[in-house]
Amino acid sequence: MSPTPLPPVKEAPIPPAITPVLDTTQRLTITSDLDSYLLERQKEQPKSLEEVIARAELVDSRPRHRMEMPPSIQQYFRSDKHPEGKYIPRWVLKDKRASDQAFMKGWVIFNRGYFPNAPRYLFSASGGIELGDTILMFMPVKQALAIREAPGKLSRERLKGQMTQTGPDTVLMSGNKQAEHIYQPELGPESAETSEEKVPGVLTADRDF
């Protein structure tokens, strides 16, 4: 008799390799606004003590006006030191009514969206640069000068419209010289000295005062 064949041996399935889970958590440090401000300011500090000494020798000793622009952004604004500046700055009261009036005239808040190279530490939570209860706005030079000169131009035009030339040296301040309430006195000896007519007994030149 031939031997009875043995049943095939079933191999136990190999469990899949377990991939170790890496710890991807990072340590998070929460800092206050003041800490963030100081960290940003330290990035601009001199890199060595020699640079600290050199910078101290170049610091201007003159007192700085409290409303003066920060030195790091003065390059953007037109001034005697920066005649190539393209914009005019203005501190606007941080108030809804004052801000709305400034927006209507075309003033724009100075922010990092327009000036990405400006130091980050200058900007507050509102996104602008604040000084006390004001916020910094700006406008192109041509547009700002036109707004600045508009009141004077209007005043000169109104004044010119009320002036009527009545003689070589006299001007009547009225839009209508025939009005009843207008009175023009005749020239006396003192006022006649500047007129073209010669008045006997009055010296008009080389007078000894």
Tens-digit pLDDT profile for residues 6-25? 666 666 676 666 655 555 55
pLDDT of residue 152: 80
What's the average model confidence in pLDDT over 127-139? 92
Q: Quote the Cα angle for 195-198-201, to 5°.
A: 120
pLDDT of residue 183: 58
Q: Which residue has the higher pLDDT, 121 or 168?
A: 121
Q: What is the pTM of this model?
A: 0.51
pLDDT at 92 over 90: yes
Write the pLDDT tens digit of every residue in 28-79. Answer: 565 677 777 778 878 878 888 887 776 665 555 555 666 788 888 999 999 8
Strand partners, 90: 137
Query: What is the distance between the alpha carbons of residues 57 and 146, in angstroms, rounded to a whole number?
Result: 41
Q: Cβ distance 90 to 111 under 8 Å? A: no
